[in-house]
Structure 1
Amino acid sequence: MTDVFLSLFLVVALFGLLGSGVWVALSLLGVGWLSLSLFTGAPVGQVLATTGWGSANSWALAALPLFIWMGEILFRSRLSEDMFAGLAPWMGRLPGRLLHVNVIGCGIFAAVSGSSAATAATIGKMSIPELQKRGYDPMMTIGTLAGSGTLGLLIPPSIILIVYGVATEESIARLFVAGVLPGVLLVALFMGFIMVWSLFNRGKAPVDDPRLPFMEKMRRTAGLLPVVALIAGVIGSIYAGIASPTDAAAVGVALALVIAWASGSLSWESFKDGLMGATRTSCMIAFILAGAHFLTVAMGFTGIPRDLAGWIAGLGLSKYELLAALTVFFVVLGCFLDGISVVVLTTAVVMPMVEQAGIDRIWFGIYLVLVVEMSQITPPVGFNLFVLQGLTGKNILYVAKAALPFFLMLGVAVVLITLIPEIATYLPGAMLG
């Protein structure tokens, strides 16, 4: 009974702080301080100092600001224009035509960005005016961007996978490799849905665009080569075991600067803006990680995770029942918090349950990212929804309705990797042993 009371008190305190508008990191620090001060005899100041340093003193974490900076550089380059021009000529014969550019474009940009919101914003800024001009259904245009933008969380280099790897002390390289096939699965599900929708809604599909000669298609596609080279250089070096994620991130920044310079979009102003944007985002994430690490240690002192894991084990839930409950929990939590906050906030409590149930930690990381992706397109705090609302001026409920089919596709992906876990676990075992 004491553990239940303590757990409820800390949950109420956390959501009270979050609901009052206090920063996520400060809320985590505050609840950790309360739990140590009121329910243990541990020296709060010493624990805070030790965990604060420990959360930052991680070589793996150094990849985070570098990948964020790489995405910021490319966000300010001509990448989205080149991608649209290079992909559009090849989509004319597929049912749904240029709607597929949103999916593939987001998939490509996700591989050089790692951010869901940045992916949706970058591709959306280019494709929305073009698709509107050609008469494509606005709800489907928004829906494809909302769903495909979430690929930035899964397709490596994923910022949230780096955060999960640091929080759980798992190999970031293995997590990156594990995200490849689920990412391909999502692209296939989204494109498949677009094809089915277009076959049943022929009246909402515009007429064919003029077909281009083959050589003109190839000329436009050549604009994709720098991006493909960047992806090959960054991700390929990790998969091949040549470089660690941190080393590859540094190479990625250098290549991104070269690409931006070669395209004529690199200026002192864009360089400075990209660097400051990456600094702000990295500091925010580092602050949240420090707060989460402190709360994790505080939870360890109170014994709540251990007792909760024992309680879950006592319920006799099967693995699938536990995952079903966690899916609902994460989606609801994601309605109020961003994805990174969800991961770092729940790791301390959830991982003992996951280990108790015998669930693979690499697989669980991919599952967790998929569920967090679902929460990114659910109101009231679905970041992708707000990004697209800003781009289109539509009501947030309209944007959420447009995203609903792709929310369901993400749910299908969660079911598939649960029934066929090899989708997430095969490549790490085959490539990295």
Structure 2
Amino acid sequence: MDSLIQVVTLLFVLFLLLGLGVWVGVSLLISGLVVFMVFTPTPADAIFATTMWSASANWTLTALPLFIWMGEILYRTRLAEDLFSGLAPWLGRLPGGLAHVNVVGCGIFAAVSGSSAATTATIGKISLPELSKRGYDDRLTIGSLAGSGTLGLLIPPSVVMIVYGVAAQVSINRLFIAGVVPGLMLMAMFSSYIVIWSLLNKGKMPPREARVPMLERLRGMKLLIPVVGLIFCVIGSIYAGVATATEAAALGVMGSLIIAALGRSLTKSAFIEALVGATRTSAMIGFILLGAAFLTSAMSFSGLPSDLAQVISSSGLSTYGLIAVLTLFFILLGCFLDGISIVVLTTSVVLPSVIAAGIDPIWFGIYLIIVVEMAQITPPLGFNLFVIQGLTNRSIFEITRMVVPYFLLLVMAVVLLTLFPSIATGLVDLSY
């Protein structure tokens, strides 16, 4: 009964603050303070300083601003335009035509940006006007962009993966490796849907693209060399075991600066804008992590996580039942919170129960990120929806209707991941 009162009080305070528009980090700090004052005899001021220090003095966190900076730099280059030009000759003849560029382009850009919003905005700026000009149906182009843009969270290096790794105290390198196969699986699912849709709606598809000679296609491949080289340096160094996530992030920043310089987009103003943008985003995420750490400490002193773990363990829920309940819970949260907030808010409370149920925390991290991807395209707060609204001037509800099939594909991905856990853990087991 005490645990129930604590949960209700905590949720009431937290959602009241969030509903009033209080910053997420501040809301977490105040919620933690309430838990300390009401449910524990421990003085909050004695815990605050040590918690803030231990949460921030973490070497792993240095990868976060570096990957964000890398994405900010690339966001201001011609990389998306080169990706479209390099991929179009190879994908234009497939059923669905150049709509596949959204999927493959987002997948490639996700591997060097780590951000869903940056991936959606960067690829969308090039692909949406080009596909519209060629007569592609808006439902296909906008829907595939919104769905594929979520790959920025799953395909490493992912900012959300780093946040989860820090919050759950699991290896970020292992998370990066675990995200590869699920990311490729989602790309294949999105492209398969585009193929099926185009075959069922032939009257809404533009004429097939003209065949491009093989020699010209190969020449166009040179446009992909910078991004492929950057992916090899960043991800390859981690998989080969020669660099940690932080060291790979530093390589990524160097590589992105070189790409920007070679593309003549590394102006003084662009450099400052990228640095300021990365600083703001990193500070925002860092503040949320500090607030979450303080709330986690408060709940640990109150005994709430262990009580909830015991309740779930004694509830008789099977592993599949637990995953189903958590999925509905996360989808509901996704209607009101952004992905990073969902991860830091729930990890400390849910993870003890998940581990008690015998679920691998690495697998759970990949599962959680896929569910957070759903939050990116779930109204009213789906961030990818707002990005696309800014690109197209369409209403949120209209964009949401276009995205529904890709939301269902993400649900299907969760089902496959649950039935076949080796999709996430197989590559990790081979690497370690």
Q: Counterpart in 1 of 2:265?
A: 265
Q: Over residues 131-180 of structure 1, what are the superposed CA-to-partner deviations in whole Å (9 max), with x where a residue is unaligned?
A: 00000001111000000000000000000000000001100000000000
Note the C-alpha offset of 1:352: 1.0
TM-score, scaled relative to structure 1: 0.99
2:207 and 2:351 mapped to 1: Cα distance?
Answer: 52
The alpha carbon displacement at 1:398 in A equals 0.7
Aligned residue type for 1:15: F
**In the aligned structure 1, how far is the partner of 2:304 from the partner of 2:269?**
50
Residue 401 of structure 2 corresponds to which residue in structure 1? 401
2-structure distance, mates of 1:371, 1:247: 29
**2:399 aligned with 1:430, yes or no?**
no
* Residue of structure 1 equivalent to 2:4: 4
- Counterpart of 1:83? 83
Question: What are structure 1's unaligned runs of at least 5 residues?
Answer: none
SS at match of 2:351: helix
State the distance in 2 between where 1:193 and 1:209 align: 19
State the match for 1:388 in structure 2: 388
Partner deviation per Cα, 1:308-337 (whole Å, 9 max, x = no partner): 111111111000000000000001101110
Identity rate, percent: 60
Structure 1 residue identity aligned to 2:46: Q
Which ranges of structure 2 fall in alignment gaps of 5 or more residues? none
Tell me how far 1:372 sits from its aligned partner: 0.6
- Residue 152 of structure 1 corresponds to which residue in structure 2? 152
CA deviations 1:87-143 (Å, max 9, x no partner) are 001112210010000000000000001100110000000000000000000111100
Following superposition of structure 1 onto structure 2, how do residues 174-185 of structure 1 map, counting pairs within 5 Å? 174-185=174-185
- State the distance in 2 between where 1:31 and 1:412 align: 35
Q: What displacement does 1:47 show? A: 0.8
Q: Residue 43 of structure 1: CA displacement?
A: 2.0
Superposed displacement of residue 429, structure 1:
1.0
Residues 93, 210 of structure 2: 8 Å contact kept: no
The corresponding residue for 1:308 is 308
Residue identity matched to 1:187: M
Local SS of the residue matching 2:35:
helix
Alignment of 1:41-120 (within 5 A): 41-120=41-120
In structure 2, give the amino acid aligned to 1:132. Answer: S
**Aligned equivalents of 1:268 and 1:92: distance in 2?**
37
1:348 paired with 2:358, answer: no
Q: Does 1:325 align with 2:303?
A: no
Q: Which amino acid aligns with 1:361?
A: P
Q: Which amino acid aligns with 2:171?
A: S
SS across alignment from 1:18: helix
Tell me by how many angstroms 1:209 deviates: 2.5
Whole-angstrom CA distance in 1 between matches of 2:203 and 2:323: 41
Cα deviation, residue 216, structure 1? 1.6
Q: Distance in 1 between matches of 2:280 and 2:216?
A: 42
How many residues get paired? Answer: 432
Aligned to 1:166: 166
Structure 2 equivalent of residue 413 of structure 1: 413
Q: Distance in 2 between matches of 1:9 and 1:43?
A: 19
| Cα distance in structure 2, aligned partners of 1:353 and 1:2 | 18
Query: Which is further off, 374-383 or 43-52?
Result: 43-52
1:245 aligns with 245
Matches of 2:290 and 2:35 in 1, distance apart?
A: 16
Shift of 1:213: 2.1
Cα shift readout 1:55-74 (whole Å, capped 9, x = no counterpart): 11111110000000000000
Structure 1 residue aligned with 2:278: 278
The letter for the 2-side match of 1:14 is: L
Equivalent-residue separation in structure 1 for 2:424 and 2:261 (angstroms): 37
Structure 1 CA distance, aligned partners of 2:313 and 2:170?
Answer: 24
